[in-house]
Amino acid sequence: MTTQNAINWPEKYLPGTGDNFVSNEVVVRGITAAQVWRYLTDTSAWESYYDNVADISFPRGGGPVLADDLVFSFGTFGFPPLAARVVGFQAPGDGVPGRLSWTARQDGKPEERLDVLHAWLVEDLPGGRVRVLTQETQIGQPAAELAGQTPNPMLNGHQAWLDGLVRAASGGA
């Protein structure tokens, strides 16, 4: 039996307590957590494999590779660039899953406010497989509006991100 790791959630963002929560996962053979991690943490590669991200910037310097406590911004799902900060960063290692999470915010009028925690877990599994899990909790009226759509655009958007990430890590375009 193989036990798989889970994302560690701050209480504020516990799944099911916000206005929108999505969870996407892939398990594939033939690539490693280290290969996936390279494309996940290098924001300069994101637009090459995921078409729902734009305008990535680092207002305080640093980047394009994400690191703990790094401040960045990016546009996605039609929102103006969200102010983001890496709040969890652990590269994958022998028997240790990679963990990446960031918060992202959109301030403004109450109906525009958005507060998000997007978390990733990347782990090698027995048999030459890798598991990539991404989950996101969103709080705010824009999140509730997304959650009310069928299918949920976040669910489909994050699946496209996962699929592109796996293709990139596998050496595909």
- Could you tell me the pTM of the whole model? 0.95
CA 70 to chain centre: 15
Dihedral of alpha carbons 161, 144, 138, 130, sign: negative
Q: Does domain 19-169 have CATH number 3.30.530.20?
A: yes
Structure tokens at 2: 């193989």
Question: Would you list the domain boundaries of the chain?
Answer: 19-169
Return the SS3 of 33: helix
How many Å apart are CA 125 and CA 33, to the nearest integer?
9
pLDDT in tens, the chain (173 residues): 467 899 999 999 999 999 999 999 999 999 999 999 999 999 999 999 999 999 999 999 999 999 999 999 999 988 889 999 999 999 999 989 999 999 999 998 989 999 999 999 999 999 999 999 999 999 999 999 999 999 999 999 999 999 999 999 999 75
Structure tokens at 77: 């799902």
